[in-house]
Structure 1
Amino acid sequence: MYMPNSRWTWSFFAIALVQAMICLALEAYVFGEFETSLTSAAKNGRSGAARTIPTYLAIFIFGFFYQLVLVWDGLRARNTIQVIGLCIYNLGMMIYAAVEMDQVNAAVIELDDMGPGLIDTSAWRYLEPCLIAVPCVLALGTVLMSLVAWKLYDEFAWTIYKHISADLRMKRRYLQYQIYIALLKFDFFFFVGFTVQFLVIVHGDTYEFALTIAALVITVLLLFLAVWICRAENTFGQSVIIFLYFAGMAYFVFKLVRMYSPSHSQDYGATRHSLTTFAVLTILLLIATIVAAVMCLMNFNKGLKPHLHKGKEGEEGKFEGQGSFARESYAGLGGQQHQLGNVGSRMTID
């Protein structure tokens, strides 16, 4: 399905796209300048400090491309919750970019302290302006996206107003389901982002390295499985998923404690703050996800499931399926047939 053809939807997408292009260009310049400043000895040794910039660039590339996918998906589905979540996501990227500036400076200092000739320290004066510019661009993008998101809220609400549902309880249940699914989409980025950084920065032939790889694979599978279990309203499966969320939260708390323990702190060096940022954001997301998962569990077997499994329909009085849940018939939610025909509805936070 194509994105709604309106001024505000295209404005929101354009802001995300232009922001991504500018930030990735700045990060590419920083990467090139940093790599040029390293000597062959530093590149061959490839310490954690020398891998700082490539790791940041990889995370930003993944983060911005994933954001564009979520922007398209959210606008296509007229998903107000996801649009609001994308503004918060952008704020998180801004925080990460702000942390990057301090971490790159720490990496340059660390490489210089490791021995003379490993890095040209004069490179910092070329890197600093770009590293300052990235969070500034993201801050401006966050403000603009938030303003447009407010307009989109009004626009989507007007579309919904014309197809309003009378069943407020069903509306609330779907809202809670929608929040849960949106949280899972953002969980995916932060889970993968933290784990990839951990693998690149702190690598080695240890049991912890193997455990981290296994955790990455299990996490991705778990997130996809969580969607299927919730849509199927499997009570036992949802209970297991919630337990695994608690286990995941314990895992990230363990990683945080380990990063700051005296016996392992030297392994993280210049990347400790960025890993801490990702870990804290992931823990906060997990807490919100657990709350949403419990609320969805409490809504099982209360009439929402049939609506989630209907196929996509483009006609009046129907609703679009898994991606958007955009319209559904008034009668389909248990209301009476209107004398003028089926009156569609769409779930929103109104």
Structure 2
Amino acid sequence: MYVPRTARQIALFAVVFVEAAVVLALEGYVFGKFQYNINSKISSEQRRSSNTVAIPTYLALFIFGEVYQLAMTYDALRLKNTIQVIGLCIFNVALLVYAGIQFEQIKVAVQFLSTWALDDDSGSFVLDSSAWGEMRPTLIAIIGVLGVVTFVMVYICYQLYAEFGWSIYKQIGAGFDMRRRYLAYQIFISLLKFDAFFFLGFTVQFCVIILNRKDVEFGLTIAVIPCTVVALFLTQFAVRHERKWITGCMFLVFLAGMAYFMFKLIRMYQPSQESKYVSARKSLTVFAAITLFLILVSEINMIVCARNFDKGLKPYIASHSSLGKRLRISNLSPAADDTEKFDDVDNGAQFYSPTSPNRKRRFSLD
């Protein structure tokens, strides 16, 4: 199990962990206040018709975002992925933007529910009118915490960029073309990880807040979730192992994904559908727009990675488990060839395979 060792790595993980702990506590407080102020006389049918599930969904999605960011931070430190570290800073900015959207959406939802009278008593409402006054300071505090942590993260990530850059230099060597290929791979893998979060975030909101379980679209949208997860894993597998035909198929799947999100965006703003999306249109629009952008950039980067197939990068991006297994086999087998080389077809340089236990790399300073 990987454990952060340098001061910068520990600092980044500690900052993200503290942010997650504080934000989760504040979001939990908001959720508790919301549940406490819901009228106890409300029926399950009235809960569905008044859409009281919207606010818990916003809060749960935010909590999921913090937990996901913490996992991504650990993953970035483990892999020494400079691109993912930069992506974490951008992701935290996205959470900050969503915190502002959450503030506005919860305000509108609470004010709406505070004027929604129960059927059996016109003087009794779904939500107590004092709920917003109790929740407002906490929601502002969440925005403040995210803003401060974003600045701290940017500073630490800037320091880590140099540290991880040196580690990659030692691993890949000084060959510019090989480092460029490895950078393209890092960008692509990082994009896939962020694609997963924003797609799931959009789909969960769409299913829980917008759709009725009896709608045909509800079942179809739920079915898209496992299909997308499988597609992301297949895409990562195809690029890591340089499988051209799978990569081509996944490129077409990504195109279909773009068409899907464009359809959802257009439909949300159609006059006939406008009332259906009022409670979550801002949030859904942000998630759909970000997902569309990430898919487009992922497709462009997929083409770049595909052009780098069969050029000697594959051994360097092999998984740690595979590398460990190969090293053990090489150490046990006296006939193992520990001088296996790979050619850089662009500049004629030769690189020794990272699977060799006694490997030497050109330009290495070790």
Range into which the TM-score falls when normalised by the shorter chain: 0.7 to 0.9
**Residue 351 of structure 2 contacts residue 362 of structure 2 at CA under 8 Å; is this kept in 1?**
no
One-letter amino acid of the structure 2 residue matched with residue 342 of structure 1: K
**Residue 312 of structure 1 corresponds to which residue in structure 2?**
323
Match of 2:229 among 207, 220, 241: 220
Counterpart of 1:211 in structure 2 is: 220
* Matched position secondary structure for 2:323: coil
Residue 66 of structure 1 pairs with residue 68 of structure 2: yes
Q: Which moved more, 1:82-91 or 1:259-268?
A: 259-268
1:148 deviates by 0.1
Equivalent residue number for residue 268 of structure 2:
259
Summarize deviations over 1:233-275 as a string: whole Å, max 9, x none: 2222212211111111111111112222222222223211111
Match in the other structure for 1:12? 12
Q: Which moved more, 1:207-216 or 1:113-122?
A: 113-122
State how far apart, in whole Å, the 1-side matches of 2:180 and 2:341 are. Answer: 17
Seen in structure 2, the aligned counterparts of structure 1 residues 50 and 225 have a Cα distance that, compared at 3 Å, is same
Alpha-carbon distance, 1:124 to partner: 0.6
Once the two structures are superposed, the pairs formed by residues 7-156 of structure 1 within 5 Å of their partners are 7-42=7-42, 44=44, 45-47=46-48, 49-115=51-117, 116-156=124-164
Corresponding residue of 1:325: none
TM-score (norm 1): 0.87
Displaced runs of 4 or more, over 6 A? none
Q: Deviations over 1:63-89 (max 9, x none)?
A: 111111111111112111111111111
Q: Does 1:299 align with 2:308?
A: yes
Verify the 8 A CA contact 1:197 1:275 in the aligned structure 2. yes
- The number of residues matched between the two structures is 333
Task: Encode CA deviations 1:132-154: one digit per residue, 9 max, x unaligned.
Answer: 11122111111111100011112
Tell me the distance in 2 between the aligned counterparts of 1:55 and 1:43: 19
Match of 1:290 among 299, 302, 310: 299
* 2:177 counterpart residue number: 169
Map of 1:184 onto structure 2: 192
Q: What is the rounded CA distance, in whole Å, between the counterparts of 2:196 and 2:109 in structure 1? A: 28
Deviating more after overlay: 297-306 vs 60-69: 297-306
2:360 to 323, 337, 342: 342
The 3-state SS of whatever aligns with 2:130 is helix
Ranges in structure 1 where 5+ consecutive residues have no aligned partner: 317-328
Q: Cα offset for 1:232? A: 2.5
Question: Larger Cα Rg: Structure 1 or Structure 2?
Answer: 2
Structure 1 residues 330 and 175, CA gap change in structure 2 (3 angstroms): farther
C-alpha distance in structure 1 between counterparts of 2:273 and 2:297, whole Å: 30
Partner secondary structure for residue 272 of structure 2: coil
Distance, in Å, in 2 between the alignment partners of 1:337 and 1:285 is 33
Give, in angstroms, the shift of residue 196 of structure 1.
Answer: 0.9
1:270 match: secondary structure: coil
Aligned match of 1:326? none
Q: Is the 8 A contact 1:230 1:296 kept in 2?
A: yes
Q: Which residue pairs with 1:201 in the alignment?
A: 209
| Corresponding residue of 1:268 | 277
Q: Is the 8 A contact 2:350 2:362 kept in 1?
A: no
What is the aligned-residue RMSD (CA, Å)?
2.6
CA positional deviation for 1:3: 3.0
Higher relative contact order, structure no. (Cα contacts within 8 Å, ≥ 6 residues apart): 1
CA deviations over 1:275-297 (Å, ceiling 9, x no partner)? 11111111111111111111111
